[in-house]
Structure 1
Amino acid sequence: MVSGDRKPALPHPLPGAVGLSHLSAYDWQAADGVCGGSPHLHLVCTEAYVVTGGRGAVQTLSPDGYRDIPLEPGSVAWFTPGTVHRMVQGGGLRVTVLMQNSGLPEAGDAVFTFPPEVLADPAAYAAAATLPSGAGPETEAAARRRRDLAVEGYLALREALVAGDDGPYREFQWAAARLVREKVPAWRELWRSGALATAERTGAQLDALTDGDPAYLGEATAYRAAPSRLGGYGMCGRRDEYALPRTTLPYEGE
């Protein structure tokens, strides 16, 4: 008899090598009177919100313009690379986050909508984006300052986009790309060992089935996991994380 909790030390990643976390949206009021998280974009990852409780919205900036997408239990919203998104608290909002290319957002793929002068200075950006370790008052205060700075830049982008000027939004995308360029080789390795390896494993299994050799099924197993950190300060809210290989890593500097 095998224990129900026993599992290999290095499990396969989650289906599709997605990242997984849970978020409770911040209830801090911002300069525009809205409660919510820190606006940002991802350079190469599509992100999805699966709403499990409460009410709220996700505000997005993209070539489609400005959108305010309602969130309620059972709804799913997702946004592709380059889409600026801001989670808005409407009352008890809680979402399960599914993230393409797990590990990349935490390695710097996510870029905050800080004002242009901060984005232009890598050292200033790192100082504004990095939080102290732990979950005490100092970390909460730093997370709130970070959120407020991101909202400052976001509101300027939104105002211009609503007025029909997509120049500031486009420039933010370019600034974000310049900011992360040196990190791309490390991202490529994370992608190769995660999402790409998972897709290639499926190809090898299809080849085996074509050859009439399902021997790989002899490696079948199951896993379970519970959150390894509860209530951390994420980009959009308090974040529950999983310490699974290539699944959810702490954000850089946290």
Structure 2
Amino acid sequence: MPPPAAPLPGAVGLSHLSAYDWEAADGVCGGSPHLHLVCTEAYVVTGGRGAVQTLSPDGYRDTPLEPGTVAWFTPGTVHRMVQGGDLRVTVLMQNSGLPEAGDAVFTFPTEVLADPDRYAGAATLPAGAGAEAAARRRRDLAVEGYLVLREALVAGDAGPYRAFQRAAALLVRERVPLWRELWRAGALAAAERTGAQLDALAAGDAAHLGAASAYRAEPSRRGGYGMCGRRDEYALPGVTVPYGGG
């Protein structure tokens, strides 16, 4: 059965994550720290326990996660999902399609961020055999850079964190035209449809209700290697196209 033509409400992105239980250099088990440039992300915790570590102008935070918790972070916030025991999260992503098109930059060391080819080689996972080993290397490299940023921020020096944000922006600059196309076709189009429907209702026209329907979907891929953990994805319009093998 082909996927439905209707996007999720508001053209949001949707996936499910089981946080990695791989121990990193600092003794913490969890995912690959990263930030988004234009997307707010939300975690809806459905099972287990853990935390999300964040770096922002507010400083360093360690937010506990347990069933029922909803935690979200705006663009520019470095976030790291931490496994505390069978942590499972449903992820809601603003501007669906943009993270999969590159609106996510790992906290790799500065010399990697400065070289687009080297960054791409470290960020991209191979398909099939070798994916897990590559995902571990990617996570470890991101943690290496993250720990430098966190140490400085905790000490009151936001310079390295701000420098990382600037490097991330430069790294993705050439992708912005594609992002704009995806945004226009997804989130912007969804908002404009609502505007048109409001205009129609104000004029006493309810014709759009004649297209009412209901939809259902199952994950199209389970257990992929995402940034924060094993990822279940949905083949829905503009939702979770795989992260280039990751």
Mark yes or no: TM-score above 0.5. Answer: yes
1:230 corresponds to 2:222: yes
Equivalences for 1:155-174 in 2 at 5 Å? Answer: 155-174=147-166
State the match for 1:241 in structure 2. 233
**Alignment partner of 1:49: what SS?**
strand
* TM-score for both structures, normalised by structure 1: 0.95
What's the counterpart of residue 98 of structure 1? 92
Match of 1:3 in 2: none
Deviations 1:52-111 (A, max 9, x none): 000000000000000000000000000000000000000000000000000100110000
Distance in 2 separating the partners of 1:85 and 1:234: 14
Q: Kindly state the Cα deviation for residue 252 of structure 1 after the two structures are TM-superposed.
A: 2.8
Structure 2 letter corresponding to 1:184: V
What is aligned with 1:75? 69
Cα deviation code 1:22-47 (max 9, x no counterpart): 00000000000000000000000000
| 1:54 equivalent in alignment to 2:23 | no
Paired residues, number: 246
Contact 1:116 1:153 in 2 (8 A): yes
Runs of 4+ in 1 over 4 A off after TM superposition: none
Task: Give identity over the alignment, percent.
Answer: 84
> Structure 1: which 5+ residue stretches go unaligned?
1-5
TM-score, normalised with respect to structure 2: 0.98
Aligned to 1:65: 59
Aligned pair in 2 of structure 1 residues 9, 129: CA closer, same or farther (>3 Å)?
Answer: closer
Unpaired segments of 5 or more residues in structure 2? none
**Do the aligned residues in 2 keep the contact of 1:11 with 1:223 (CA within 8 Å)?**
no
Q: Which residue in the other structure is 1:117 paired with? A: 111
User: Residues 109-188 of structure 1 correspond to what in structure 2 (within 5 A)?
Assistant: 109-134=103-128, 136=129, 138-188=130-180
Deviations 1:136-188 (A, max 9, x none): 4x110000000000000000000000000000000000000000000000000
Displacement of 1:12: 1.5
Q: For 1:169-208, list aligned pairs within 5 A.
A: 169-208=161-200
Does the C-alpha gap of structure 1 residues 9 and 88 become closer, same or farther in structure 2, counting only changes over 3 Å?
closer
The residue that corresponds to 1:86 in the other structure is 80
SS in 1 for 2:186: helix
C-alpha distance in structure 2 between counterparts of 1:82 and 1:28, whole Å: 25
Following superposition, the deviation at residue 190 of structure 1 comes to 0.3
Whole-angstrom distance in 2 between the partners of 1:39 and 1:25: 12
